[in-house]
Structure 1
Amino acid sequence: MSFDTQKIPGILLCLFIAIPAWVLGQALPLIGAPVFAILLGMVVGHFHTKREKTQQGIAYTSKMILQLAVVLLGFGLNLGQVVSVGLTSLPIILATISVALIVAFVLQKAFKLEVNTATLVGVGSSICGGSAIAATAPVIGAKDEEVAQSISVIFLFNILAALLFPTLGQMLGLSHEGFALFAGTAVNDTSSVTATATAWDAIHQSHTLDGATIVKLTRTLAIIPITLALSWYKSSKGLENGGASQSGFRLKKVFPTFILYFLAASLITTVVAAFGGQTALFGHLKTLSKLFIVMAMSGIGLNTNPIRLVKTGGAICWLAITLTSLAMQAVIGVW
C-alpha cells in the first residue's frame, strides 16, 4: 500500500484519538492506552459515518503503521538480558505457549469460533498480549473487528490477573522467585506483568519486578517463530486452495519483512548494549512504537462494530495458562 497525501486526514484522525487514549493509558496503566484507543475509536466511529476523506488513512494506520510499530518494538528487546535470566523460565514458557495454542485450536473447532479471532486470542494470551496480537494480525490477514475483539479479551484477563494473582500466590505459598516466574509466564501484557509484580512487592517488601519483567521479555521472543510459522501455514493453505503455483511461492510470503526487521532491531539493541553503547535512543524508539500501536488501535476502533465483540474462548485459554504455569513450576521445583 503506497503512501499519498489522501491518507493524511485519516492518519491525523487516528492521531487525535490516540493522544487522549495515551494520556488515559498513562493514568490507568492497568487498562492501557490500546484499550482506550479502541473504545474511543468505536465512539468516534459511531458518529463519523462520512469517510470519503479519511477511510484511506484509517486503513493505512491500522495496517502499515501497525507493522512499523512492531518493528520499532524490537528496539526494546535486549536478547542478552533475556538469555541470562530466561533459561530457568524456558520450560514453563514453552509449556504455557503450547497449551494456550492447543486450547485455542480445540475451542475454535468445538465452538466454531472465527479462526483469526481464536488464533489472536491464543497468541495474545500465551506470548505478550497486545504486542503479539499486533505482530500476528497482519500475518494472518485479521480484520479490524477480530483484532479489537482479541485485545478486549486480553484486557479483561489482564485486570483479573493483576487483582487476583498476588493473593493467589500468597495462598499457594509461592516464593519471591516463584511468583516472578508465575507473573512473567501467566500474565499477558508487560504493563500488567509490571502491575502484578509491583503489587506483590508492595505486600512482601520484595524485588520480584525485575525477574518477572525479564521472564516476560523471554516470552516476547516467541513472537518470531510463531508469526513465521503462521505465515508459512497461511501461504501453504493458499497453495492448496488454488493460489499461486509452487514456482511462484516466494520466501517473502513466509518471512514477513516487518518481522525480520523486528528481529534485526532486537539484534542491533543487543550488540550496541554488549559494547557499552548508549541505548537511550532505543528507549525513545520503543516509546514511539507504543504510540504507533495506540494510533493503529484507534484506526481499528473506528472500523469496529462493538455489538460483535463477544464469544472468543479467552477465559478457558487464560485458565489453562495459569494452571500450566503453576504445574510446571511444581515440576521443576521453583515454587
Structure 2
Amino acid sequence: MNTNTNNILRGESEFMRKNNKILNETKDILPGLIVSISIALISMGLSKFAPSLGAGTIAIFLGMLVGNLFLGQKVFQKGYKFSETNLLSYSIVLLGGTLSVTKLMELGFNGIFFVIIQMTITIVGAMYIGKKLGFSQNFRMLMASGNAVCGSSAIAATAPVIDASDEDKGIAITVVNITGIFLMFLLPVLSGYLYNHEVVRTSAMIGGTLQSVGQVVASGEMVNEHVKELATIFKIVRVILLVGVIFVLGHIKQKTNHEIVEEEISDVKKGKIKIPWYVIGFFITCALFTLNIISPEVSYLFKAISNKLEIIALAAIGLRVNLRELIKQGKSVSLYALFVGSLQVVTAIALISIFL
C-alpha cells in the first residue's frame, strides 16, 4: 500500500513539475509573442494604405523601429525568438499544403545544380577569405556553413562537430545574421534590376543566397507571393544538404572516415544533426495536397493561416534586429562579412546566367 501511495505521489509530483515548467515557459514567451502579434496586426492595417509594400515588409521595418527604440529588453526576447522560429516553421508546413509537386519540379535539375554549386563556392570562398584575413579554422568553418546553408541553425549544428568555442559560435551567428539582413533588403532591388523580378531567377537569387529561412521568406515577400513560395523551395533544398556540409567539414578537420561516420551516427542519435521537422512537414503536406487528400477549401485555409503566421514571424525578425550590433563589429569581421556576401551575390548572378 505504501509503495503504491509513493508511486502515485511521485507521479503527481512529476506531473506538477512538468506543468510548472510549461507554465513558466509560456510566461517567458508571452510578452514577446504579444508584441509580435501586435506589430503584425498594425502592419496588416497599414498595408491597406500601402499595398505595394505588403504587410510583411511593413512588419519588418516597424519591428526594427520598435525593437531598437522601445521594446528591445530581455523580457521580450524569448517571445520574439519563438515567434520567428516556431511560427515561421508552422507557416512553412502549412505552405506545403498549398503547393503541388508540379510546383516543386519548377526547380528542375538545373535549379538543384545551381544550389549545389552555389553552396560549394560559398564554402570554399568563406574558408579562403577567412584564412587570408587571419581567422581561425573553426571560425571559418562556422562562417562557411552558416552562409552556405541556413544561418544560425547550420552554425549550431556544425559547432559540436568541429569543437568550436562558444565565442566563435556567438560571433559567427551575429555576423551571418547581419550579412543576411543587408542582403534581405538588397536582393529584391538587385533582382528587379537584373531580372525584372522574373519568378524563377529572382527566386534562385533570394532562395539560393540568403542565410536564414526567415530572411528568404521576408525578402521574397518584398517581391511577390510566387517568388516567396519558389524562393522557399530553393532554400529548403539547401537545408536538406546540411548533413552533407557537416560531413565535408569533418573531413577538413582531418578526421578519419571511421571517426566521421561514428560521430555522424552519434550526433544523429542525439538529435544534433537532422533534417528540420518543418522541412519534413512541408513535403508531407505538399504530397497530401498533390494527392487531393487536402481539398482546395482546406488548402485555402492553410494559405490564410500560413500568411498570418508568416507576418507575425517577420515582425519578430524585425524586433530581433539589433542595430547596435552592426556598429560593434570590428573592421576585420565586417570585411569578412562583406567579402563573403559579395561572393555569394556575384556567384549567384553568374550561375543563374548559366543554369537558369
Q: Tell me what 1:192 maps to.
A: 219
Alignment match of 2:266 (pick from 244, 249, 265): 249
Task: Name structure 1 gaps, 5 residues minimum.
Answer: 171-175, 199-208
**1:191-214 C-alpha deviation (Å, 9 max, x unpaired):** 434545x6xxxxxxxxxx747852
Q: What is the identity, as a one-letter code, of the residue corresponding to 2:86?
A: L
Percentage of identical aligned residues: 11
Distance 2:130 2:323 in 1: 24
The Cα shift of 1:149 comes to 4.4
Q: Does 1:325 align with 2:348?
A: yes
SS at match of 1:221: helix
The Cα shift of 1:261 comes to 1.9
SS at match of 1:102: helix
Say if 1:195 and 1:231 are closer, same or farther in 2 by CA, change over 3 A.
same
**1:82-106 C-alpha deviation (Å, 9 max, x unpaired):** 5421114222222222222322233
Q: Does 1:19 align with 2:41?
A: no
**1:90-146 C-alpha deviation (Å, 9 max, x unpaired):** 22222222222322233333335688987777667656xxxx336435535786775
Q: Tell me what 1:173 maps to.
A: none
Distance 1:44 1:107 in 2: 38
Q: Tell me what 1:133 maps to.
A: 151
Alignment match of 1:219 (pick from 235, 256, 259): 235
Distance 2:264 2:349 in 1: 47
**1:292-315 C-alpha deviation (Å, 9 max, x unpaired):** 5754774x5589856435616343
Q: What is the identity, as a one-letter code, of the residue corresponding to 2:287?
A: V
The Cα shift of 1:19 comes to 3.2
Q: Tell me what 1:273 maps to.
A: 289
Distance 2:247 2:315 in 1: 24
Say if 1:318 and 1:185 are closer, same or farther in 2 by CA, change over 3 A.
farther
Q: Tell me what 1:308 maps to.
A: 328
Distance 1:13 1:326 in 2: 42
Give the 5 Å matches for 1:275-290. 275-276=291-292, 277-278=294-295, 279-283=299-303, 284-285=305-306, 287-288=308-309
Say if 1:228 and 1:91 are closer, same or farther in 2 by CA, change over 3 A.
closer
Q: What is the identity, as a one-letter code, of the residue corresponding to 1:251?
A: V
Q: Is the 8 A contact 1:70 1:262 kept in 2?
A: no
Greater relative contact order (CA < 8 Å, ≥ 6 in sequence): 1
Q: Tell me what 2:279 maps to.
A: 263
Q: Does 1:99 align with 2:121?
A: yes
CA RMSD of aligned residues (A): 4.7
Distance 1:116 1:297 in 2: 29
Distance 2:222 2:84 in 1: 25
Distance 2:121 2:323 in 1: 32
Q: Is the 8 A contact 1:14 1:58 kept in 2?
A: yes
Q: Is the 8 A contact 2:143 2:155 kept in 1?
A: no
Say if 1:321 and 1:305 are closer, same or farther in 2 by CA, change over 3 A.
closer
Q: What is the identity, as a one-letter code, of the residue corresponding to 1:41?
A: G
Name whichever of 186-195 and 138-147 sits farther off. 138-147
Distance 1:116 1:65 in 2: 30
Q: Tell me what 1:89 maps to.
A: 111
Q: What is the identity, as a one-letter code, of the residue corresponding to 1:74?
A: V
Give the 5 Å matches for 1:9-158. 9-22=27-40, 27=47, 28=53, 31=57, 33=59, 37=63, 40-44=66-70, 48=73, 54=75, 58-59=77-78, 62=81, 68-69=86-87, 71-72=89-90, 73-77=92-96, 78=99, 80-87=101-108, 88-112=110-134, 132-133=150-151, 135-136=153-154, 138-140=156-158, 147=173, 149-158=175-184
SS at match of 1:97: helix
Distance 1:82 1:317 in 2: 31
SS at match of 1:85: coil
Q: Is the 8 A contact 1:69 1:292 kept in 2?
A: yes
Q: Tell me what 2:11 maps to.
A: none
The Cα shift of 1:265 comes to 0.6
Say if 1:308 and 1:7 are closer, same or farther in 2 by CA, change over 3 A.
farther
Say if 1:44 and 1:272 are closer, same or farther in 2 by CA, change over 3 A.
same
The Cα shift of 1:185 comes to 1.9
Say if 1:191 and 1:71 are closer, same or farther in 2 by CA, change over 3 A.
closer
Q: What is the identity, as a one-letter code, of the residue corresponding to 1:161?
A: L
Q: Is the 8 A contact 1:121 1:153 kept in 2?
A: no
The Cα shift of 1:269 comes to 0.9
Say if 1:303 and 1:109 are closer, same or farther in 2 by CA, change over 3 A.
same
Count of residue pairs brought into register by the alignment: 296
SS at match of 2:269: helix
**1:25-52 C-alpha deviation (Å, 9 max, x unpaired):** 6545585645654664344466x4xx6x
Q: What is the identity, as a one-letter code, of the residue corresponding to 1:153?
A: T
Q: Tell me what 2:202 maps to.
A: 183
Distance 1:254 1:232 in 2: 19
Please say which structure displays the higher CA radius of gyration: 2
